[in-house]
Amino acid sequence: MNRLHARAVARLERLRRAQQDDESGMVMIYVLFVTMMITMLVATVTMASASNVVPAQQSAYDQDALTAAESGVQAYYAALLSHTTCVALTDLAAGSGGCAGLSTGATSGRIAIASANSTHAFTVTNQPYYTWKVLSVGSNFVRVQSTGEIGASTSGLYAKKVVTADITGGLTRNFLDYAYYSTYETLPSSYIQKEFKPGRSIAFDSATTLADAGVTGSPSSVTWSGAPTSGATGSQWCDALYYSPSTGASTVNASTGGLGRYFQGAGLPAGYNWQESVTAAPGASALVGTTHNGICQVDFTTGTTITGFPLNAGRSCCSTLAK
CA of 221: how far to CAs of 153, 210, 214, 292, in Å?
91, 11, 15, 16
- Residue % of the chain over a pLDDT of 90: 24
Among 194, 196, 195, 215, smallest CA distance to 204 is for 215
**Phi/psi zone of residue 199: left (φ > 0), alpha (ψ -120 to 50 degrees), beta?**
left
pLDDT tens digit sequence for 84-109: 788 777 788 888 888 889 999 999 99
**Residues 281, 244 contacting (CB under 8 angstroms):** no
Whether the pLDDT of residue 180 is over 90: the answer is no
**Residues 213, 247 contacting (CB under 8 angstroms):** no
pLDDT-based confidence at residue 250 (cuts at 50, 70, 90): very low
> Which pTM value belongs to this model?
0.46
- Predicted pLDDT at 44: 77
Mean per-residue pLDDT for 59-77?
91
pLDDT tens digit sequence for 259-283: 788 777 677 888 888 999 999 988 8
Mean per-residue pLDDT for 190-219?
86
pLDDT tens digit sequence for 18-52: 555 555 566 677 777 788 888 888 877 777 666 66
Other beta carbons within 10 angstroms of residue 227's beta carbon come to 25
Q: What would the DSSP string read from start to end of 39-81?
A: HHHHHHHHHHHHHHHHHHHHHHHHHHHHHHHHHHHHHHHHHHH
**Residues 144, 277 contacting (CB under 8 angstroms):** no
The chain-wide mean pLDDT, for the chain, equals 80
